Amino acid sequence: MLLSHNFELKDNIFPQFSREKFAQVFIDGFQDKPNIACSSIDNPHWMVEIIFPSDEFSADKIGQFCAKILEQKRKSQKPDNVKMPDILILGGKKTTPPISDSPTSLQPGEWGVDVVETASADSFLTDLNWDERVKDKPIDRVFKIEIKGE
């Protein structure tokens, strides 16, 4: 599973992560799960690779872990009386040939996951036309995890 980061926050309350810090959030977050390997990768779009036993975890379960890990990190940075950002974990299984021959490009059968931080998940999903994009996809090839900020 490969992760990218869409940072859609404009208020500067929550800092945008560098590629290294974004990867470190998940590397640290998965430390208590020895059967899940997490590392930074060198790719223009993808930032993190997560390798997990598919007989033990579904892709959406790993996505749920990712959402909770990011939520906990942002809660640790949140000033009092500030709303948390909405977090979206949008996953899709690659079914087409790779875009490049780079070893870090998303390969057929692998999951590409966009990790989104936004002020409004509803607006982001509407702008992305999410419902239309996924309506004809088999349910085992796409997932969405949403945590609304509070």
3-state secondary structure of 53: coil
Tell me the one-letter amino acid at 62: I
The total number of structural domains that make up the chain: 1
Q: Identify the DSSP state of 12.
A: S
pLDDT at 12 over 80: no
The pTM for the full model equals 0.94
Burial class (CB in 10 A: 0-12, 13-18, 19+), 19: middle
Contact 19/70 with Cβ under 8 angstroms?
no
For the stretch 34-66, pLDDT in tens is 999 999 999 999 999 999 999 999 999 999 999
Pairing between β-strand 111-118 and β-strand 2-8 as defined by DSSP bridges: parallel
Candidates 1, 14, 37; CA nearest to 119 is 14
Q: Which helix (H) or strand (E) holds 150?
A: none
pLDDT at 95 over 80: yes
Domain that holds residue 24: 2-147
